[in-house]
Structure 1
Amino acid sequence: MARLTVHALEKRFANTAAVDRVSLDVEDGELICLLGPSGSGKSTMLRMIGGFERPTGGQILIDGQDVTHLPPERRPTGMVFQSHALWTHMTVAGNIAFGLKLRHLPRAEVRDKVEWALSLVGLAGYGSRMPYQLSGGQQQRVALARSLVLEPKILLLDEPFASLDQHLRERLREEVRDIQQRLGITTLFVTHGQDEALAISDRIAVLKDGRIEQLDTPDRVYRRPQTQFTAGFIGTMGFIEAEVRDGRFQHPDLCLPLTVSDGPATLALRPEDIVLAPATGPEGPVVVRAVDFGSHHQVELQLSEGERIKAMTEASSRWQRGDRVRLSIRNHALFRDGKVVLSSADTPDVELKKDLIHG
């Protein structure tokens, strides 16, 4: 196990900062997901930690040792890329053994370590096969085994399952999480998949424009987003813009009491925090679409001023296009200038959180 420290890490291409003075501490045995859209700097940051990209500035420390300027082969890191990068002319065992042979280990020790790695990733008995004889998921397991067999202190995973179908991707990420916890290896996992980050990480670093927007546990990133970008990027979130006046969010379809100063603000609502009831009159949000997901229905609503938000309802609900509804809100967050100013998830007043209704 090891501790990774990144201090004011920076990477510039001409006048563009791909990574903009990012600092991050990863504890022993922790798995942190770097999550963000394309161009947010997450892969560039991972490549600098692995030694495949030279930083413009900052430091990278592993167990207190400065590795900022060391080449990849001299760093105690193992990296798994999105492309499997297997040598097609070598067997599976040959691919895994390659790095061990460069260390001039005895042949018997190399064989034992390869067998251990194959067993670890669920490919015992596959050593004599060629890469082209494996499925995409099996090839990625070989790539993972090739990194783990070298016993790195830090495991770096750069969107390793992006090219796989969803079902296989979900299964492999669970297997990787099990292996990571079994070995207790400190891990950085780059992904643009929200579900992936929420499912396997101890903490999530949400990146935007080369900077960390929020670094927190999955439940806090989802339920207590600190910026409007994070709120919109993680999961499904509906945004409603209106004025706060006299302590209330003034919107034709939703009038909430809020303990913030007057002025423009953006209300953020998760679908599962919106409760629908039949409207008592001809006014109110209208159902645009209702989609049956089996376990629940997702109902898309159009509000009076044109905004669209989504609500999650029970599988037994029967909302149809054109229905008028009344909204009740369980939880919400309020943003100004992209920063959170109020979150009912942090409000101790249970009655306030229980049912905030526009009558």
Structure 2
Amino acid sequence: MAVLKIENVSKIFQGGTTAVDDLSLEVSDGELVCLLGPSGSGKSTLLRMVGGFERPTQGKIFIDEADITDQWPERRPTAMVFQSHALWSHMNVFKNVAFGLRLRGLPAAEIRQNVEGVLEMVGLAGYGKRMIHQLSGGQQQRVALARSLVLEPKILLLDEPFASLDQHLRERLREEVRDIQQRLKITTLFVTHGQDEALSMADRIVVMRDGRTEQIGRPDAVYRKPLTPFVAGFIGTMNLVEGQVMRGAFTRAGIRVPLPVADGPATLAVRPEALDLIAAEPGQAQVHRITDFGTHGIVDLELSDGTRLKSMATQPNALRPGQGVDLVPRALTVYRESREIYRDVHD
């Protein structure tokens, strides 16, 4: 069992910059939780505090009820995989992976057995004698992962480990890492700014902004039920339209959507896949451009005031640039003062 508890943790750097602001989080045994947010949101600082590379200004961090807040990194039951790999170029693969076990004073035979086992697990069986410069970027990242896993940590920490890799390799490695994590049932905290990685890998996503949590939930809930305009705009593609609700309808540049909410300013949020189009002249919007991706098309729309929206179309060839269309949202969310005030989903 390995449960990570972060209680009311803050980190204020010299000069007064607050990187993490009174944040609490619990990661359950065997769970993979992803910290997702833009640069400067505090996600990497939080991860480094769990790993012991930064000390909290206030708050406590526990692993299985044991307070590790003031422990040095090497004393913690954690292991971190860095974005930069942090491998020793003068050592071969075997020595890189075995380094931590040798510091623990394990017998040579046990070290060899453990290292060979973990190299096979990450797809590098037979690579022990190779030097780091002889490996591709993806293979180097596998070595970094193996070096962490061989220590059998209670908590695995991943700090944007795929950021420097190309898209296809990134997709393949994240599938492999997820498979390994589920097979070992190791509690994992994963930092990324890539929403696709968070949606495809995480049991839960923590969306961070300015050192605080905007929303915590399962990937499907965060995608389909974003609680704030920030989360709505950060996760996936979202049409966010500022306007007014007057006499029971949201209005903006020719758009009129009936809504059972009080009058006042509001933000209408509609996913492209939930925005249907009906040919109409002159229409609420005009087709600006159509991009055919084979499996679907993305239709760029323009309102009368220049506002741009997107719609996903299964038959993009049925539309043409300059055509007038009316907008029919099948699912929408309405925000006011950065909080959800109404949600409607229908077929």
TM-score (norm 1): 0.94
Q: Where do 1:101-140 residues align within 5 Å?
A: 101-140=102-141
Q: Compute the displacement of 1:294 (Å).
A: 1.6
SS in 2 for 1:180: helix
SS in 2 for 1:344: strand
CA offsets per residue over residues 126-164 of structure 1, 9 Å max, x none? 111111111000000000000000000000000000000
Q: Compute the displacement of 1:288 (Å).
A: 1.3
| Kept after mapping to 2: 8 A contact 1:335/1:341 | yes
Where does residue 159 of structure 1 map in the other structure?
160
Letter in 1 for 2:6: V
Where does residue 143 of structure 1 map in the other structure?
144
Where does residue 336 of structure 1 map in the other structure?
336
Where does residue 7 of structure 2 map in the other structure?
7
2:153 and 2:254 map into 1 onto residues whose CA distance is: 56
Where does residue 357 of structure 1 map in the other structure?
none
Are 2:280 and 1:287 equivalent residues in the alignment? no
Residues 1:315 and 1:162: Cα distance change in structure 2 (over 3 Å): farther
- Segments of structure 2 that go 5 or more residues without pairing to the other structure are none
SS in 1 for 2:157: strand
| Kept after mapping to 2: 8 A contact 1:331/1:344 | yes
CA offsets per residue over residues 205-238 of structure 1, 9 Å max, x none? 0000000000000001000000110000000011
2:328 and 2:85 map into 1 onto residues whose CA distance is: 49
SS in 1 for 2:18: strand
Letter in 2 for 1:317: N
Q: Compute the displacement of 1:251 (Å).
A: 3.4
CA offsets per residue over residues 28-47 of structure 1, 9 Å max, x none? 00000000000000000000
Letter in 2 for 1:124: A
| Kept after mapping to 2: 8 A contact 1:294/1:315 | no
Are 2:11 and 1:37 equivalent residues in the alignment? no
SS in 2 for 1:226: coil
| Kept after mapping to 2: 8 A contact 1:295/1:315 | no
1:317 and 1:231 map into 2 onto residues whose CA distance is: 29
| Kept after mapping to 1: 8 A contact 2:298/2:316 | no
State the number of aligned residues.
346
Letter in 2 for 1:62: I
Structure 1 range deviating more: 303-312 or 129-138: 303-312
Where does residue 221 of structure 1 map in the other structure?
222
| Kept after mapping to 2: 8 A contact 1:205/1:216 | yes
Letter in 2 for 1:37: P
SS in 1 for 2:99: helix
CA offsets per residue over residues 292-329 of structure 1, 9 Å max, x none? 11211111101123211100001553422211111111
TM-score (norm 2): 0.98
CA offsets per residue over residues 174-210 of structure 1, 9 Å max, x none? 0000000000000000000011100000000000000
Where does residue 231 of structure 1 map in the other structure?
232
Are 2:60 and 1:66 equivalent residues in the alignment? no
Structure 1 range deviating more: 323-332 or 311-320: 311-320
Are 2:302 and 1:302 equivalent residues in the alignment? yes
| Kept after mapping to 2: 8 A contact 1:59/1:68 | yes
1:31 and 1:114 map into 2 onto residues whose CA distance is: 24
Where does residue 349 of structure 1 map in the other structure?
none
1:315 and 1:248 map into 2 onto residues whose CA distance is: 30
Q: Where do 1:159-238 residues align within 5 Å?
A: 159-238=160-239
- Segments of structure 1 that go 5 or more residues without pairing to the other structure are 346-352, 355-359
SS in 1 for 2:334: strand
SS in 2 for 1:89: coil
| Kept after mapping to 1: 8 A contact 2:290/2:316 | no
1:283 and 1:111 map into 2 onto residues whose CA distance is: 71
Letter in 1 for 2:8: A
Q: Compute the displacement of 1:54 (Å).
A: 1.2
Where does residue 321 of structure 1 map in the other structure?
321
1:20 and 1:128 map into 2 onto residues whose CA distance is: 46
Where does residue 27 of structure 1 map in the other structure?
28
| Kept after mapping to 1: 8 A contact 2:283/2:326 | no
SS in 2 for 1:46: helix
